[in-house]
Structure 1
């Protein structure tokens, strides 16, 4: 049984206060989980050369944007129950290669690597995979899915709400700007909290009957599957009994490996010690990334006016990363950012 379920279902202290404390911890883990997917997705996105593999870049960019939304929704839920999101912290950025927070897909090792179909299939699709797909892929997930992780949190919110009012947080800490979805996703009670978390599940996995989320976009798993299969996912025009209702038979999505920088996998802070220029470029990237996390920490702890500044920091990251990715560090391979935390 996963650690989250053990924490929620097998407690020695079953008091309302202790269960609420564990729920806050689970939501902090959810924030860290959503963030943990962003550096690997960005690393693959940044490895795409300018004006190359444009449709694939658009798909990955749309997924990263929604992962940022999911972080925001988790922060809103945690704030709504009187918690305090912790984003400006050295341990907030995970180590790569490594596992995901919350015991999600706990046998999966997530790397920082250049975009490839193998990376998409073996890592990204596994991160986002649902319990059951609608495209004919019947293989069950090896571990706990993100959807199951969130369903445990939703169930605990429901149970605790029967015991008392858990929504005691300051409503002014709700972020209701920056993303169109947030305008209707403020969290103030059990219903709005459940809706926010269900939106995260739908956008990542889709549902058991459709790959389309509630915002009328393809869920993350199927966007990555389109990249892997090299075709758009479309409804089966002539579905028969036992046949999938959706097929990868739409227009071609061409992946050109030559349009990807040959970046090294899993760089760390020691990778560039003998190359001062590369080391300096990497440090600049890490400062920008750490500064963005600090601004986001302030955004979700009572200073929402810093959101625009944090988004500007994120826009700078691609340019800094791609400059790194033009720097050869070993024959035939170039540098990539390490996503290290640098204190202010």
Structure 2
């Protein structure tokens, strides 16, 4: 794996700096590898917030909103993998140079001022989620624009239009996921330019909304907002609703949203809890951390296999194994959050999401 595509490289910045005439098949393959890494990088922080909620079966408003976003991001990663394989590439997912590292930046140099970390659900973590998903030009908010994930996907979209002849429909993972995800989130074969364009549209609008509306057109539940606005309204403590007199026609003036009680998961230090003497885990916590990290690593391995085999049945079986590993992560994660850190802060341990090579 070349260093230029490594997780902490500036690969996306470099790719965006290439003139459009040079955005060929090689450019698309490199860009889609980065897109896969970018989608994967959002999952651990969102999952830590989700799993930290103490009573997920109580008031489900916040829990279900975050869960829906997590499910969307999983589908987005799968669609990005299908985009890469349809043009002859092979996703790399289970590789020590490519897996997310926390705390740290997003991969490829996207939003370089943003430091992404793993902790429980707090106003600070919600603000971080918003910054990850922030559109170029948010509705109902006035700030200076900056380079966004949406801008990157727009460039990928344009490159596909110029290189439509590269689309082969090769090694596509298919999975019906409508019951758990929003509309358009099933993994479908991307064998035509229209199918690829539709997939990119789903990814962009579910994350950022359209230029004129914060609504998610590819919703799982009627009235669902794009990710940025779903996170933002939790942080604001009020639902985002249409207000004709507001400058953009929308304002955070709806029903109150109550933050659920959450475990006070501390911020995982770089390299894991054991890297800080004051957080040194005991044998029970070490066993939970190891269990979680092994399952997470196996999950990444199965995902990679799903898009590297030419046998459709093997791909389906590998993806099913990955889903099973994903479901198995919640138990050790929540168990970790019942163990307080030994520094007397009252905060707790939580999952590290460290990759252990097979």
TM-score (norm 2): 0.85
Aligned equivalents of 1:317 and 1:97: distance in 2? 20
The answer as to whether partners of 2:76 and 2:185 remain within 8 angstroms in 1 is: no
Q: Does 1:286 align with 2:293?
A: yes
* 2:198 alignment counterpart: 195
User: Runs of at least 4 residues of structure 1 off by over 6 A?
Assistant: none
* 1:220 alignment counterpart: 227
For the residue of structure 2 that corresponds to 1:90, the secondary structure is: coil
* 1:233 alignment counterpart: 240
The answer as to whether partners of 2:13 and 2:110 remain within 8 angstroms in 1 is: no
Q: Which runs of 5+ in 1 are unaligned?
A: none
**Pair 1:184–1:301, CA change in 2 (3 A):** closer
Q: Trace 1:268-287 onto structure 2 (pairs within 5 A).
A: 268-270=272-274, 271=276, 273-287=280-294
For the residue of structure 1 that corresponds to 2:143, the secondary structure is: coil
The answer as to whether partners of 1:286 and 1:339 remain within 8 angstroms in 2 is: yes
**Which of these residues, 232, 250, 260, is aligned with residue 246 of structure 1?**
250
* 1:263 alignment counterpart: 265
What is the Cα-based RMSD across aligned positions, in Å?
Answer: 2.2
* 1:77 alignment counterpart: 83
For the residue of structure 1 that corresponds to 2:163, the secondary structure is: helix
Aligned equivalents of 2:96 and 2:113: distance in 1? 24
* 2:213 alignment counterpart: 210
Deviation at 1:53, TM superposition (A): 5.5
* 2:118 alignment counterpart: 112
The answer as to whether partners of 2:273 and 2:281 remain within 8 angstroms in 1 is: no
* 2:354 alignment counterpart: 340
* 1:99 alignment counterpart: 105
Deviation at 1:90, TM superposition (A): 1.8
Deviation at 1:184, TM superposition (A): 7.6
* 1:309 alignment counterpart: 321
For the residue of structure 1 that corresponds to 2:341, the secondary structure is: strand
Aligned equivalents of 1:285 and 1:260: distance in 2? 20
The answer as to whether partners of 1:53 and 1:255 remain within 8 angstroms in 2 is: no
The answer as to whether partners of 1:298 and 1:304 remain within 8 angstroms in 2 is: no
Deviation at 1:209, TM superposition (A): 0.8
For the residue of structure 2 that corresponds to 1:328, the secondary structure is: coil
**Which of these residues, 35, 39, 42, is aligned with residue 40 of structure 2?**
35
**Which of these residues, 1, 22, 25, is aligned with residue 20 of structure 1?**
25
**Pair 1:183–1:40, CA change in 2 (3 A):** closer
* 2:172 alignment counterpart: 174
* 1:44 alignment counterpart: 49
TM-score (norm 1): 0.88
Q: Which runs of 5+ in 2 are unaligned?
A: 1-9, 179-183, 310-314
Aligned equivalents of 1:8 and 1:252: distance in 2? 40
For the residue of structure 1 that corresponds to 2:37, the secondary structure is: helix
For the residue of structure 2 that corresponds to 1:329, the secondary structure is: coil
* 1:124 alignment counterpart: 129
